Amino acid sequence: MSKIIASAAIRGAHKVYERAEKSFNQALKKYGPDKKVEFPNTGYFLPVIYAMTGIRVSTIGDMKQVLDRAKSLLPQIPDENVWLPYLGSALDAGMATLFSDEIIESLKYLEDKIPYTMTLSPTEDNIWLGAADDVIMRERGIEFVDGSAPGFAACVGVAPNNKTAVKIARELQEKSLYVFMSASSPDGRSMAEQLEEEGVQMGWETRLIPFGKDVTATVFALGFASRAAMSFGGVKPGDYRRNLLYNQNRVFAFVLALGEVDDEKYAQAAGAINYGFPVIADTDIPEILPTGICMYEHVVSNVKHDEMVERALEVRGLKIAITKIDIPVAYGPAFEGERVRREDCYLEMGGGKTHAFELLRKKEAKEVEDGKIEVIGQEIDDVEFGSRLPLGIMVNVAGSKMQEDFEPILERQIHNFINGAEGILHMGSRDVNWIRISKAAREKGFKLSNLGEIIRSKLLADYSAIVDKVQVAIYTDQAKVDELREGAREIYSHRDERVAGMTDESVDIFYSCTLCQSFAPNHICIISPERLGLCGAYNWLDGKAAFEIDPNGPNQPVEKGSTIDEFKGQWEGVNKVVFEKSNQALERFNAYSMMEDPMTSCGCFECIVALLPTCNGVMVVNREYPEMTPCGMKFSTLAGSVGGGVQMPGFMGVGKQYLVSKKFIQADGGFTRIVWMPKELKELMMDALKKRAEEIGSPDFVDKIADETIATTEEEVMEYMQKVEHPALEMDPML
């Protein structure tokens, strides 16, 4: 090891240790030894310390033994003329640095003004997020295990200019990597602040994480890695060897050192090298290139900024397959969680504001002109900022192994495909889809035709086994959209009818769906013959077909297992999968109840069912209905409360067809609990509603359901119920 690097790392470690010791003594004097310390909402104490030593630091007094351990690891600062031929002393100094970092950072949470927001995303007042809590750890950490996040880059310091900072961040995002940012330059500038100045969305949703401006905040990245080892790798606290090996072999991370590397940054780098995380620098610092104690104890210097990411991947031994799409904005999974706010929206389509739909059909090869993408109607260049347009997306595919049963599965992928584009938001499916295109994307040259480019490229890349040719038409002409939407609705109905005769009791296998976990990481749909996915696009047969197409995809078979409660719809095997797929956030749910442990909701539901307590019944509101509802909230407000993958008794997102299922909230009274729904929804589903009413022996029941022409408040709904003698008035209380 270079004696210059070793000397600098050891000097830096001593400086950080002295800071930690000073902070500890001040806190001890001010608060006493019994004062509680922690990274808020975490169960791993101070995770690097806990993982490496097994010491549970929960009070200020507990820190003393950690400081003693750190001090024992500190080598003497060597003479510049002494040759250090091995890594050992610098690695020890690096670990002492990480212990000291965690003491410094945890004590910051005792300050009168905590320097961190402790939220998912930066705020206007503070961009720094601090330590990830356990909810984030469960949501995001699993991605490092299942491969959806191949690794992370710890960016330390500041880029030479804002443009370079954005370029590096975008390149890392496009490769699906998380970006953990910390530290600053001698003049106080940081990469995260550069991104903020350029209007780049940061936060856990976009995988750009501004941990902290202090160099000691670098430890949050190593703490995240340690917690991943303990949470998902089964590594026991104190088993430092297994922890380091897990990170070396499973968490593919590296450090990008931007700008001047001072002694304290050398010390942080030495700490990272313990984990097998190499350091790639843009400055001319001494290099470490041999392999010995660690697999990747590299320090590579003087790398050009446009080569840094690729060089880091090469040194770390990380190979990432990327589908290149010819569009003018960045593309990758990191953008799936990006939001396009109303004030930033150049063009909006669907979402209840305009008519919209999306449909994918199987065609014969001769009927599909591969690569043909056309826009029928206005392009984005033809409208002004803040405009709205109708939208129809028609996708024709051909392939020798393509089946009609595969249509809805591929169609539902449009949601994920489009969301991967920077500055583009897609929600919903079928005829309740919604797209927003940001002003920034428009300024970069994004066109509506690029939606077709995305869909074609991803279908051919991800489903090459069954798709050979793709043709896409984007409609923004009102008359054509209305005409084609009616035809699409007939096809949706035909798909729904395929499972009409099946029951939940007739099968031993249900299917899971995790497609929407980019927006709601803890949400999990369980699709049964009598309960379709809440997006309305996936029924049981679709789940079965999706699994046939992609055995490793988002739709997996779920063995029901032994029955816990047949009436409420709870099974042992289903609970096991729910617990696992919700990142252990949910222990169970009841498929047929909205009042007790209901199924969670993401944000793609077609309708929301909400309790009206006074009426002893429920109201239903569809996404297209923009007005106030009897529960005192509009759909948009309800969606914010119901979505996100949380269990919210009394509220539930559903697909429209579930309203007429025999299992609809069976445990809470069923179909006759419905007391209000928008007139448009009632008319759209009139045939199915009347059929269900006849099945229960109450053919006039649909007329007893109020709509907005009759009642807009809960009190008015109750008056109407009394007038028509609604059966919910005589039913057992829901509460």
- CA-wise closest residue to 342 among 434, 243, 404: 434
In a domain, 93, yes or no: yes
- The answer to whether the CB of 285 falls within 8 A of the CB of 348 is no
Do 229 and 289 share a domain, yes or no? yes
Do 518 and 490 share a domain, yes or no? no
In a domain, 430, yes or no: yes
Domain of 659, CATH number, reads 3.40.1470.10
Do 540 and 481 share a domain, yes or no? no
Lowest model confidence (mean pLDDT) among 216-230, 426-440, 520-534: 520-534
In a domain, 149, yes or no: yes
Residue 108 pLDDT exceeds 90:
yes
For the chain, state the CA radius of gyration.
Answer: 28
pLDDT category of residue 291 using cuts at 50, 70 and 90: low
pLDDT category of residue 184 using cuts at 50, 70 and 90: very high
- The answer to whether the CB of 80 falls within 8 A of the CB of 1 is no
144 or 54, which is more confident?
A: 54
Do 556 and 692 share a domain, yes or no? yes
Do 303 and 341 share a domain, yes or no? no
Do 444 and 582 share a domain, yes or no? no
Do 295 and 361 share a domain, yes or no? no
The predicted pLDDT at position 79 comes to: 61
In a domain, 326, yes or no: no
Residue 293 pLDDT exceeds 50:
no
Neighbours of 112 (CB within 10 A): 4
The predicted pLDDT at position 80 comes to: 57
pLDDT category of residue 472 using cuts at 50, 70 and 90: very high
The predicted pLDDT at position 601 comes to: 84
* Structural domains of the chain, count: 3
- Picking from 247, 282, 316, the residue at the C-terminal end of a domain is 316
Is the pTM value of this prediction over 0.75? no
Instruction: Give per-residue pLDDT as tens, 16-72.
Output: 999 999 999 999 999 999 999 999 888 788 999 999 999 999 999 999 999 999 999
- Token pair 């356990």 is found at 134
- The answer to whether the CB of 182 falls within 8 A of the CB of 158 is no
Cα separation, 631 vs 405, in Å, equals 39
* Residues forming a β-bridge with 181: 155, 210
The predicted pLDDT at position 5 comes to: 61
613 alpha-carbon distance from chain centroid = 33
- Picking from 248, 283, 316, the residue at the C-terminal end of a domain is 316
Do 603 and 679 share a domain, yes or no? yes
Do 483 and 527 share a domain, yes or no? no
Do 39 and 120 share a domain, yes or no? yes
46 alpha-carbon distance from chain centroid = 25
Instruction: Give per-residue pLDDT as tens, 353-411.
Output: 899 999 999 999 999 999 999 999 999 999 999 999 999 999 999 998 888 888 988 89
The predicted pLDDT at position 323 comes to: 67
Domain of 372, CATH number, reads 3.30.1650.10
In a domain, 643, yes or no: yes
Instruction: Give per-residue pLDDT as tens, 299-339.
Output: 888 899 999 999 888 888 777 766 678 899 988 887 887 88
462 or 694, which is more confident?
A: 694
- The answer to whether the CB of 534 falls within 8 A of the CB of 620 is no
Residue 83 pLDDT exceeds 60:
no
Q: What is the DSSP string of 437-464?
A: EEHHHHHTT--THHHHHHHHHHHHHH-T
The predicted pLDDT at position 84 comes to: 45
Neighbours of 57 (CB within 10 A): 23
The predicted pLDDT at position 316 comes to: 85
Residue 85 pLDDT exceeds 50:
no
The predicted pLDDT at position 165 comes to: 97
| Residue type at 225 in one-letter notation | A
pLDDT category of residue 287 using cuts at 50, 70 and 90: low
pLDDT category of residue 183 using cuts at 50, 70 and 90: very high
Phi-psi sector, 100: left (phi>0), alpha (psi -120 to 50), beta: alpha
pLDDT category of residue 704 using cuts at 50, 70 and 90: very high
Helix (H, G, I), strand (E, B) or coil at 151: strand
Do 381 and 263 share a domain, yes or no? no
Domain of 169, CATH number, reads 3.40.50.2030
| Residue type at 248 in one-letter notation | Q
- The answer to whether the CB of 484 falls within 8 A of the CB of 357 is yes
pLDDT category of residue 703 using cuts at 50, 70 and 90: very high
In a domain, 322, yes or no: no
- Domain boundaries, position 573: 504-730
In a domain, 151, yes or no: yes
The predicted pLDDT at position 354 comes to: 94
Q: What is the mean pLDDT of residues 484-505?
A: 87
Please give the backbone phi and psi of residue 218, each rounded to the nearest 5 degrees, phi first: -60, -25
Q: Two tokens at 7?
A: 């000397």
In a domain, 327, yes or no: no
Considering the chain, what is the average pLDDT of its residues?
A: 89
The predicted pLDDT at position 1 comes to: 44
Please give the backbone phi and psi of residue 289, each rounded to the nearest 5 degrees, phi first: -120, -15
Do 513 and 490 share a domain, yes or no? no
- Picking from 446, 467, 497, the residue at the C-terminal end of a domain is 497
